[in-house]
Amino acid sequence: MYPESTTGSPARLSLRQTGSPGMIYSLFSRNLGKSGLRVSCLGLGESLVFSFQMAEQLMTLAYDNGINLFDTAEVYAAGKYVSFLTGRMQCRRSSLVITTKIFWGGKKYTACKTSSQLPPPPGAPPVFAEYPQVGPQAPQSPHPRPAVSASLLTETVRAMTHVINQGMAMYWGTSRWSSMEIMEAYSVARQFNLIPPICEQAEYHMFQREKVEVQLPELFHKIGVGAMTWSPLACGIVSGKYDSGIPPYSRASLKGYQWLKDKILSEEGRRQQAKLKELQAIAERLGCTLPQLAIAWCLRNEGVSSVLLGASSADQLMENIGAIQVLPKLSSSIIHEIDSILGNKPYSKKDYRS
């Protein structure tokens, strides 16, 4: 799929030691795509927390344990998440890599609104409205949501180039774009001497594999676009917490997550839970939890630059970070056993190593 030792490949890893007291983990850092930007292979993304105090605790804990990548969005905490992150973290701003997703315009809309309540995506102005409050002191990567037309795609590439040229960000990437849209953005950038994206944010977990394992490798080899993946636990499905139904206060029990509840209780959801019970046996043999196995499984993909974690408590975050210790245990035989249980390994006719 990906080369094992090609210069610039995200497969080339180096240990990043943190100097925090009591630190028991050493996180690998990887290049984001074929760019020179180094990020921790685990990042902190959207977390289901109900107070800024808990959010601050999780961000500080993540940083103290080697995580330097923090993923935000204009709608997280009604658009205040980025300024909160940069203002409250007790560390050098230059040591952080912050990514921000932009699409809906941010300041007028809150995170509690569903996509059906939101208007069509605006043009470039929200990009410029969001970034001056952050500043250019550290690597930052905006991730526009999917473009809807060729003209809007061209405007998006121009807007992102302007953002970088103005010092508001150092790189930009895409989120939930199709492979065709990313290639078109790259072509536009080359045609008009603009700056192309360096990575794609994509959903990736044991039950969602096609894009990251088949489509993105081609983009990596052709244009250097890396993968920053999210939802390694499939909104908690892979954690095993739903094997006996919907527990109180879980994500699927909350208002606005009926779609997740329906998915879990569906026939496909029941089949997934049966597979997870088989995977639990593998986790026990390896001396880890099922979530740790699932996250390590995502990290074993040489094309994944970073896996974004979500956590609602300090204990959950530390458990997820512990996946780093499981990664060396995932031998080829273990991976084959997992693939046999899942039965969904995507097939690609192309060999991108040639």
Question: pLDDT value at position 89?
Answer: 65
Q: Give the distance between the most distant pair of CA atoms in the chain.
A: 55
- Measured in whole angstroms, how far is the alpha carbon of residue 189 from the centre of its chain? 24
Is 76 considered catalytic here? Answer: yes
Alpha helices (H) in 46-114, listed in sequence order: 52-64, 81-88
Choose the catalytic residue: 76, 131, 242, 257: 76
Tokens of 231: 């939802």
Task: Indicate the pTM of the whole model.
Answer: 0.80
Per-residue pLDDT of the chain (354 residues; tens, 9 = 90+): 333 333 344 433 333 433 443 333 345 789 999 999 999 999 998 766 556 778 888 888 999 999 999 888 765 554 555 556 656 666 677 788 888 887 755 444 333 332 333 333 333 322 322 333 333 334 556 666 555 567 888 998 999 999 899 888 899 999 889 999 999 999 999 999 999 999 999 999 999 999 999 999 999 999 999 999 999 999 888 988 887 778 776 777 777 788 888 888 888 888 999 999 999 999 999 999 999 999 999 999 988 999 999 888 899 999 999 999 999 999 999 999 999 999 999 987 665 544
Per-residue model confidence (pLDDT) at position 135: 34
DSSP secondary structure letters along 113-165: S-GGGS-----SHHHHHHGGGT-SSS-EEEEEPPP-SHHHHHHHHHHHHHHHH
Q: What is the rounded CA–CA span in Å between residue 137 and residue 158?
A: 22
Q: What is the DSSP string of 180-216?
A: HHHHHHHHHHHHTT-PPP-EEEEE-BTTB-HIIIIIH
Place of tokens 């601050």: 56
Give the CB-side neighbour count of residue 247, counting CA atoms within 13 A: 10
